[in-house]
Structure 1
Amino acid sequence: MNTEQILAEIREANLSYLMLAQSLIRSDREQALYRLGVSDETAGMIAALTPAQMLKIASGNTLLCRFRMDDELVWNLLTNHGRGAANDGVNRLHASILMAGRHQEAA
């Protein structure tokens, strides 16, 4: 994959993310804040974007979204690293609780 292809993929991911985020925010703001991991202020700005503004923002060369699982514990819980499939539901629940706590800390 060359540089131009990578930049095109980033633009597409950005636009998809903005469209999804705006849709989530408009349909259920509280769920969107949790699922997107954004502040109420940021959600308001995203909800108010026009299609032209979304296209302009998405056309940059930097990803707008980022991984929220930035520590080894959450990644291990999500991937069941070193555990059996029997604990999958419990591990995902634990990871969700950890990420929800981090969302509350950021808000």
Structure 2
Amino acid sequence: MEANLQNEIKELNLAYLMLAQQMLHADREAAMLKLGVGEDIAALIVKLSPGQILRMASSDMLLCQFRFDDELLLGLMSNHDRDNQAARIHATILAASQPVGRLA
């Protein structure tokens, strides 16, 4: 069970890093907002070689994190009773106001 979980984390890490790099190449500003990262982290992700991405992805530590540690944001993203477009816009505004990831 533990080995299976570690493999799932590695696959998720790889998918996340590849998607993040692709998003940043396509539209850096929008990607930074959607990923919740600052310019310094975005620059590092863009520069990663395929080998570096594979090495990072092979970690058994999850590289991405949930951004909805705010109850209101979680409610907006999961509530299907309200107007979906308005809720998504409100959630985007709330997420944009949260601090972004930075290098220590």
TM-score, L = length of structure 1: 0.86
Report how many aligned residue pairs link the two structures. Answer: 101
Report the Cα offset of residue 106 of structure 1. Answer: 3.6
Matches within 5 A, 1:23-62: 23-62=22-61
- Tell me the SS of whatever aligns to 1:11: helix
* 3-state SS in 2 of match to 1:85: coil
1:93 is matched with 89
Please identify which structure carries the higher helix content: 1
- Which 4+ runs in 1 deviate beyond 3 A? none
User: Which residue of structure 2 aligns with residue 21 of structure 1?
Assistant: 20
Say yes or no: does 1:66 pair with 2:65.
Answer: yes
- Any gaps of 5 or more consecutive residues in structure 2? none
Residue 95 of structure 1 and its aligned partner are, at CA, apart by 1.3
Q: Which has the larger radius of gyration?
A: 1
Choose between structure 1 and 2 for higher RCO, CA contacts under 8 A separated by at least 6 residues: 2
- Cα drift, residue 53 of structure 1: 0.6
CA deviation vs aligned residue, 1:11-56 (integer Å, no higher than 9, x gap): 0000000000111111111111111111111111111111111100
What's the CA shift for 1:74? 0.9
TM-score normalised to structure 2 length: 0.88
Hey, what's the Cα distance between the residues in 2 that align with 1:89 and 1:6? 35
Secondary structure of residue in 2 paired with 1:26: helix
Change in 2 beyond 3 A, CA 1:77/1:56: same
Deviation at residue 97 of structure 1 after TM alignment: 1.1
C-alpha RMSD of matched pairs (Å): 1.6
**Which residue identity is paired with 2:44?**
M
